[in-house]
Amino acid sequence: MSDRLTKQANEVKVIVFACEAGMGSSLMGANQLKKMVKKANLDITVVHAPVSQIPAEADIILTHKGLAAQAHQRVPGAVVVPFTMFFNDPAVKAIVDRLAAGEAVVSEL
C-alpha cells in the first residue's frame, strides 16, 4: 500500500462512503457527504456501502481509518481517504473542498 494513488478532480465520478456494516452513523455521514457534494455543485455520485461491498467503479473511498486497508484491497485503483469521525470530519470536508477547487485527491495510505 505504499503507492499513493492520485485522481484528478475531473476523473472523479463516484465517491463511496464505506463502513463496516452499512447502517447507523455511517449512513448519516454519507447523507451529510451527499449534501456537501450537492452544495459544491459537483457532478459526482455518492454511494454508501459496507466495505465488503464497495463497487468497483469507486474513484474515491472515504472510510474509517480502521477499514482503510480493507477498502484498498477491495478496490485497489481507488483513492482511499481514512477518517476518524462519522460526522464533520475534516478529512471529508477537505475532499469536497479539493474537488470543488479542481484539485487532485491523493490516497492517504
Identify the pLDDT of residue 55.
97
19 catalytic per annotation: yes
Per-residue model confidence as pLDDT tens digits over 61-107: 999 999 999 999 999 999 999 999 888 899 999 999 999 999 999 99
The residue annotated as part of the active site, out of 12, 19, 36, 54, is: 19
- CATH, range 6-106: 3.40.50.2300
Give residue 3's pLDDT band: very low, low, confident or very high (50, 70, 90).
Answer: low
What is the spatial distance between Cα 59 and Cα 69, in angstroms, rounded to a whole number? 16
Torsion of CA 72, 77, 79, 83, to 10 degrees: -20
- Output 14 or 29, whichever has higher pLDDT: 14
Per-residue model confidence as pLDDT tens digits over 34-51: 999 999 999 999 999 999
Domain extent listing, the chain: 6-106
